[in-house]
Structure 1
């Protein structure tokens, strides 16, 4: 009966309604489970996966390459609008920030395309990402001189209009993204379906009862916690902090390389050629580093290779202020471009190593989201330093030290974790010197695995198999 503005729920009616709803949904759940099991599979490492790679490749050309070619417009923007370096840099930084921060524009294409590659590849994941990410380098190599010619022929306004038409090819890329259900996703999907079924039953039985509201909130919180539980992992927190410093350092070069080259007497065509060199070497870094780190000898050292690549880009930044001619800038463009392509390829691989395949899409979304703020502020800060000091030295040094700190931070965190593993393994052996193998060949203690899963919690001692001999 209605009481004021609320309904007094009869517990028997609630239970009856819930049972009826669950009975109706039982067959549907069984059917969905069979369909999911039929569709679920391991990453195929080929087949349609190569079409996904091709689609991601085109996406990176249309998004990251076009964005980075905006630096060729920098001098025209500055001249046309009569603004200083810091004000003009906001154009590039806002584009990059919105791409990484919102669900708007390029962001709707870039992050999902990268996540799809991770769904289709496991054994050859680094190579697949290398080919996909090489679109950025190939795009820069082709677009940099083309954009310069378009500016000369049609002015900067006409060049931007033509680039806009080129970016419409993203619609074709989206048509290639065929979804796939993996075995790791099956359990999560079934749990979410059961939660939705029970929630609907409660709502139909008693739509206004406090019991129903509490159950709905519990289900929603459980789903969110399962989807984003990687945010509580210490490894991911350290990765997130390092990404902030890395993103701060990597962005300004693509804004200021052309203006810096022009300031030391390099012509417009030669400055555009530098961007092309940077782009083509970026391709080589994408593909070769991805292929090398997929080899058996380096498969277990992908994390270290990622740190090395970031550190090398930081060192390149520190040397840049001393390079005052085109012959000196070309080796810099080759070195920086190679290691830029290298660490960009390994970002999804390192993220997957930390959070696993199931949460990879959400984790990559967070990682690329963290790029947004540094991308927004670093070019204007670098421009302010140029305006204040009258030189690019301070801006480039700050970027270099930022990237080196990112690499050192991750390396130090991995070293500390390794030392803790070794210490706990030693303590486990000391506490039970009779550590033996079980009859099925499994080891009685799995300290390292428990530490990876719980990272700091008490080490669990699990018995595997039958009684010890």
Structure 2
């Protein structure tokens, strides 16, 4: 899912959230139904793993980006509600999937799952672009006053004709700039805050996958039954839902900045891993996994909110795509490293130490964000000074042009008076 995210960000900028999300739904449907007919394991892994993963990647980013288009003041709350759906999925789909597989087999389950995705794909058609909605309302307001506007235009027709010609030229220049816009916006990599954020999230991805992958095996090593160990995933889902909703709400408080809350989430995801390495009872492990899901939910919930503050709304799609795309290979190697440490030492505690250290380093990298913000602000201020130095020359030229036009108008008036005399 994450590996295709850079492509998804570019596609959203080019085609919009609705088309990309709808195509992702179609990809999931085709992959799931094809996988239900697979006769070999490699074919099944390719169809269900790769195909469904690509489809989910095409659907996730547009769902997050369309929220940023419509919500400004309550963006964090809306985003927290949207991403908490994954937590609800963890809580509900596990028991539902188990029941369906017992009744209809795994092939039947995949077909039923595909039918559910059909409903989800139809919902993506409701991703109405904000610009179209805004233009529609603006057009209604314009039509209500069109008669009065036409009367004013008739009184100053010659002046407006000149204005329309200049506006057409500016529109043509603006359209040429749009056509010349590159497919991939590389300018986000000139943003120091974005680079700091990407470095931090890569280290987070290296560490947070350890409990997710090795949780059940870690519980089994503590002589916990398989049924009780499987419930830990449900506890993690409960913590994730609460964390994503609550941190989205906390971010609306003026005294609590989203970047600070995100930093707290990173710290509180990494530090408890050192404590988890010493856990010996089921109760302690249950408390840890709920807190893990809760604070990891802060990272997931505030990811788009923080990126929007760092790069702006126009660059959010590709910034989110790049950050998630660079997370993908790191998530893949984090789990095997912890597994290797277990095989070498005979204990999972060293894997948890590894995960905790990587996330603590992510917090250290994130602490450089204020410096990066000051650097960008200083760079932008220097650029504005250069632009202001160039403005007087242009203003002088325009002033001379205005003076010349005024002189010609005065000469015309004098000529008219002479002819009347």
**TM norm structure 1:** 0.59
For 2:130, the equivalent position in structure 1 comes to 180
Selected match of 1:374 from 316, 319, 330: 330
For 1:340, the equivalent position in structure 2 comes to 296
Partner secondary structure for residue 398 of structure 1: helix
For 1:265, the equivalent position in structure 2 comes to 223
For 1:105, the equivalent position in structure 2 comes to 55
Residues 1:121 and 2:79 are matched in the alignment: no
Give per-residue Cα distances to partners, 1:181-201, cap 9 Å, x unaligned: 18999xxxx999846965xxx
Contact 2:274-2:356 within 8 A present in 1 as well: yes
* Counterparts of 2:318 and 2:191, CA distance in 1: 14
For 1:296, the equivalent position in structure 2 comes to 254
Q: CA deviation at 1:389?
A: 2.5
For 2:403, the equivalent position in structure 1 comes to none
The alignment covers a number of residue pairs equal to: 319
Contact 1:279-1:337 within 8 A present in 2 as well: yes
* Counterparts of 1:371 and 1:277, CA distance in 2: 25
Relative to its length, the structure with more helix (as a share) is: 2
Q: CA deviation at 1:458?
A: 6.7
For 2:207, the equivalent position in structure 1 comes to 249
Give per-residue Cα distances to partners, 1:175-226, cap 9 Å, x unaligned: 22121218999xxxx999846965xxxxxxxxxxxxxxxxxxx986x51289
Alpha carbons of 1:284 and 1:318: their partners in 2 closer, same or farther (altered >3 Å)?
same
Q: CA deviation at 1:459?
A: 7.6
Partner secondary structure for residue 324 of structure 1: coil
Give per-residue Cα distances to partners, 1:302-338, cap 9 Å, x unaligned: 1011011011000122221211221111110121111
Q: CA deviation at 1:116?
A: 0.7
* Counterparts of 1:241 and 1:252, CA distance in 2: 19
For 1:133, the equivalent position in structure 2 comes to 83
* Counterparts of 2:280 and 2:108, CA distance in 1: 33
**TM norm structure 2:** 0.65
Range with bigger deviation, 127-136 or 255-264: 255-264
Report matched runs for 1:24-423 at 5 Å.
99=53, 104-148=54-98, 163-181=113-131, 194=172, 223-224=181-182, 227-298=185-256, 301-414=257-370, 416-417=371-372
Larger Rg: 2
Range with bigger deviation, 322-331 or 376-385: 376-385
| Structure 2 unaligned spans of 5+ | 1-17, 30-40, 136-167, 390-421
For 1:447, the equivalent position in structure 2 comes to none
Give per-residue Cα distances to partners, 1:43-71, cap 9 Å, x unaligned: xxxxxxxxx9xx99xx9xx99xxxxxxxx
* Counterparts of 2:104 and 2:226, CA distance in 1: 16
Contact 1:145-1:269 within 8 A present in 2 as well: no
| Structure 1 unaligned spans of 5+ | 1-51, 64-80, 82-90, 199-217, 422-450, 464-469
Say what the alpha-carbon RMSD is for the aligned residues. 3.9
